[in-house]
Structure 1
Amino acid sequence: MHRILALLLSLLMLMAAPLVRAADSPRLQILNYHEIANKSEAQIPGYAVTPTNFVRQLDWLKNNGYRFVSVDDVLADRAGKKPLPDKAVLITFDDGYKNFYTQAYPILKMFNAPAVLALVGSWLEPASGLVAYGDKKVSRDVFLSWQEIREMRASGLVEVASHTHTLHEGVPANPQGNSQPAATARLYKNGHYETPAEQIRRVEADLKRNSDFLHRMSGQKPRVMVWPYGSYNRDVAEAAARQGMPITFTLDDGPNTLNTPLWKLRRLLMENTTSLADLARELKVRESLKPVSERPGKIMHVDIDYLFDKDPAQTERNIGLLLDRISAMGVNTVYLQAFSDPDGNGAADEAYFPNRHLPLRADLFNRVSWQIKTRTPVKAVYAWMPMLAFELPKNDPAAKDVVVTRPHAATGHVSMGYPRLSPFSPRARKVIREIYEDLGRSAQFEGLLFHDDVTLSDYEDASPEALAAYRRWGLPGDIEAIRNDDDLLGRWTILKINELDNFAKELSDVVRRTHPALKTARNLYASVVLNPRSEVWYAQSLDNSLANYDYTAIMAMPYMENAADPAKFMRDLFDNVAERPGALDKTVFELQATDWRNNQPVPSEEMADTIRNLYRWGARHVGYYPDNPFKDHPKPAVLKGAFSAMTQP
């Protein structure tokens, strides 16, 4: 009887105990508004939410169980003192427009909804007259008065945050004169880039100036930093923390959980066209923890080598042609070459961004990436880079630290045709890390695509550093001895796969210093998916790839694989991916646009049919390579219709 009573008591206590949410469960939604105004009265009509729609949105949130919270509530939750309510929402406003006081503030009071108000010091510094606002001047009366700011702050409902003093603008960021966000771009002036140290000193001085200014004028020293244009990186976030602002807001996609650092809290941008249905759908996506990688990718894979011309004017015309094709094709993602391979051997001889180790062919990656992001509907640009396939200048000490292939007949096996640096050489790894670090500092982009060189055959690597690594793994320091024992061969393959994937993660982390929201993708050979034995030949694995990268871009290229039946090849490839739970959400089927056996184009109609088939079977992400703008192949008029068969969820 006592045991039964004890069991019942335990069950009652369990039922009464509050549910503890996992650290990665959705914890907080943050909405980002700008103006509450009719479009005709707004400074930026696209970001202006009408007063009526603002009321409807807050009312919808309240009626659907969302609870408005403050920065103090967020900090109490993080400190473990008081958990946030379910479906917590924090409301933020950028820029400090007058209509925040006249239109938003009365509604916030009615709903008892706290708000964070991010202020640009240079727009508020003059008491009257005109203010430099982007490329124009506007009346100081467009913005809040200090009396209004102090009144709202005193209410306890509005928290003042910093939106920088003079960094809400663009600065020249490349030789072509592209204007990019001042907080994260390296200023290009008088033929030179500022150094990373100079950039951080410039940004931190501005943050300090604005923090001191807001403290003096409002009576509150800001503890929240809101990045203009949502553009930030780890370096500027650390500068903000040094100036007393450890909390920073971005415009990154995704939910905020206990695992989301306070220095990169994500916000949902509210626009003039945001309907209640849009709001409900977006919140549901974020609450489901659905990553960006699950949203359909329509991908064009682009060679800058095609665009480069010794005549800069012709290069610009070529870029313009590409931009027109991207818009006409209906893609939303571009894999963009950041290296140069003029001899066509698959390895990087030069780079399209300034760096410490490779010759600069032309400072073009920043230019092309920015033009794509600002002049086409594309949502994400991925920097396409080798991981190992670099041909360094001969005077670089690491140039000799190459992958060594043991002599073999190659019958039934894979011989990698391009030179690579050894991943087992500390000297080579350091050089590659520095190249990636320079890439990260050179341009605005959203992801990395690792080239198909993330591979080692079953006769590689036989360099001295590699053989020493095998001995540390408990294997013989001799490839032939390993290959003659199936157990050792299997173990060696798994360890090589992990070594390559770990190095990819190491390089990704280097770039995340300047691109904290970075996504990763890697090319994978189709035979790895179709034939388990080929994992040994390539040191690649679909399962490992799905676990270690946001996307796996399988080279779904039947002609490259000499498939007897291309249609069956594609169906078998899809079925092998689909049998893995969740794999389709993270897999790109990358089609070939050229039959390299005869250098003839694969017909656009055939490519379109394949895309439609993949979508019909259940594929979510489809791309193609290469795009040839000069031969108009593939034809946008044909492929756009196929791509449009997949819509955003």
Structure 2
Amino acid sequence: MSKRLLLTALIGLIGMTLLLSPLQAEKAGDVYYQDQVAVLMYHHVHDTDTSSSTITRKLLQDQLQTLLSRGFHFITLDEFRQYMNGASVPSNAVLVTFDDGYQSFYTSAYPILTSLRVPAVNFVITTDLANPLGSYIPSMSKEQISEMTHNTNFIDIGCHTDNMHHKLPSGEAALIGLDRGESEADHEQHVLKDAKACVGKLTPLTDRPLDAMAYPFGITSPAATAQVAKAGIRYAFTISPEMATRSADHLLIPRINAGSPNITPELLVRSIQRRVVAQPGHSPLRIDAASAAAQLGGTAAVEGGALQLRLGDTAFTLEVNARTATRGDARVKLQEPVLRSHGQVTIALDDLQALIGRPLVYNAATGTIAERVPLSVK
């Protein structure tokens, strides 16, 4: 090959390399993080309205589809609750949240979420329920909210205060600032009354717990947080752009903004990745294989130095210190070896899920394991 041809081929190869973004090199099976959750924040979805917190339907769909194709796993609010109390979540876990209870969630976001089977929670300003079309941006009606929460098991609602989503003349958020002539004690009672009103108005619209809240403007204070907790709020979200971990205060959960029109799908992936919390020495979650089989309705027995599991009509053989298992007549490669410790044969949770072909949720605090609840739409 002549030097000119070689140079031309080399330039072409370099050009192709530059055209391929890092995202294109990523695979759906890549693990970016484990045992933490990227909580995403959105507001308004509309094709003609414009603002720094409004995105089009196409951008929302492109973002969600990109995350799915890159191997991110969306979880429900209930799965997030369980995670914060010790349960496992899939790798690359994501919780989608929307603020303000806009009608565009029902008309624009909800069809996309249901078609892609992406769970979400919307934090509603409940004073708007009395006149949903009366505000500058129309809000959802009680009927629309009830339809979504009852027709799916993955669309949830939470509080965004009843009537404290505004700024005071002083410029402070109403949730934390003192209004004219208001004492600290008066303000605390005001916050408590407002939070109780929000919970009370939303409770009839869902069959699931009403214990989550997003602070207006993402701002709170120790006094305000204490009062919303008295109203029954157990999980409250800020706008601090970090990953959520179990070490986070349950009433100060961070969120990453995804709902601005300049956040392309690629930028969103990078935004999540650069906020991943480093976990030095993090080892795969291991579980007692025999206990797991029993809890999943199967049986376990030791035969010839190997653990024999049966789940339904399928038999599995786990050999200690091996990175393979037998499923029926087939050999299955494992990511981690099967180990014996203190009389228990343990297997990595990810390997057990791959072996049985079903997603599982394990709570290390209680030792319980169960299948993830499948998402459904009536």
Q: Bin the TM-score by the shorter chain.
A: 0.5 to 0.7
1:69 aligns with 2:65: no
Alpha-carbon separation, structure 1, partners of 2:115 and 2:204: 30
- Letter of the structure 2 residue corresponding to residue 60 of structure 1: T
Contact 1:163 1:227 (C-alpha < 8 Å) held by counterparts: yes
Partner of 2:141: 145
1:120 aligns with 2:116: no
Q: Among all aligned residue pairs of Structure 1 and Structure 2, give the percentage whose two residues are the same amino acid.
A: 24
For 2:155, which of 155, 158, 161 is the aligned residue?
158
For 2:107, which of 93, 102, 106 is the aligned residue?
102
- Letter of the structure 2 residue corresponding to residue 93 of structure 1: F
Alpha-carbon separation, structure 1, partners of 2:83 and 2:35: 13
For 1:240, which of 206, 221, 228 is the aligned residue?
228
Alpha-carbon deviations, 1:240-277, whole Å to 9, x = none?
22111110011012221121121111111221211223
Alpha-carbon separation, structure 1, partners of 2:269 and 2:131: 40
SS of 1:117's equivalent in the other structure is strand
Q: Which runs of 5+ in 2 are unaligned?
A: 1-32, 280-378
By relative contact order (CA 8 Å, sep 6+), the higher-ranking structure is 2
Partner of 1:570: none
Shift of residue 220 of structure 1? 5.5
Alpha-carbon separation, structure 1, partners of 2:277 and 2:198: 37
Compare CA radii of gyration and give the structure with the larger one.
1
Partner of 1:321: none
> Relative to 1, partners in 2 of residues 1:220 and 1:85: Cα closer, same or farther, differing over 3 Å?
closer
Contact 1:34 1:93 (C-alpha < 8 Å) held by counterparts: yes
Partner of 1:56: 62
Partner of 1:30: 39
Q: Which runs of 5+ in 1 are unaligned?
A: 1-23, 132-137, 174-178, 291-649
5 Å-filtered alignment, 1:210-289, equals 210-218=198-206, 222-270=210-258, 271-289=260-278
Alpha-carbon separation, structure 2, partners of 1:127 and 1:107: 22
> Relative to 1, partners in 2 of residues 1:220 and 1:75: Cα closer, same or farther, differing over 3 Å?
closer
Partner of 1:204: 192
Shift of residue 218 of structure 1? 4.9
Contact 1:214 1:220 (C-alpha < 8 Å) held by counterparts: no
SS of 2:175's equivalent in the other structure is coil
> Relative to 1, partners in 2 of residues 1:289 and 1:168: Cα closer, same or farther, differing over 3 Å?
farther
SS of 2:145's equivalent in the other structure is helix
1:183 aligns with 2:193: no
SS of 2:52's equivalent in the other structure is helix
> Relative to 1, partners in 2 of residues 1:100 and 1:236: Cα closer, same or farther, differing over 3 Å?
same
Contact 1:246 1:262 (C-alpha < 8 Å) held by counterparts: yes
TM-score calculated relative to the size of structure 2: 0.61
1:172 aligns with 2:169: yes
Alpha-carbon separation, structure 2, partners of 1:201 and 1:87: 40
Contact 2:241 2:257 (C-alpha < 8 Å) held by counterparts: no
Contact 2:38 2:255 (C-alpha < 8 Å) held by counterparts: yes
Alpha-carbon separation, structure 2, partners of 1:221 and 1:259: 22
Shift of residue 114 of structure 1? 0.9
Give the strand-richer structure, 1 or 2.
2
**What CA RMSD, in Å, does the superposition of the two structures yield over aligned residues?**
2.2
- Letter of the structure 1 residue corresponding to residue 67 of structure 2: L
Alpha-carbon separation, structure 2, partners of 1:84 and 1:196: 40
Alpha-carbon separation, structure 1, partners of 2:197 and 2:217: 20
- Letter of the structure 1 residue corresponding to residue 269 of structure 2: A
Contact 1:26 1:289 (C-alpha < 8 Å) held by counterparts: no
SS of 1:211's equivalent in the other structure is helix
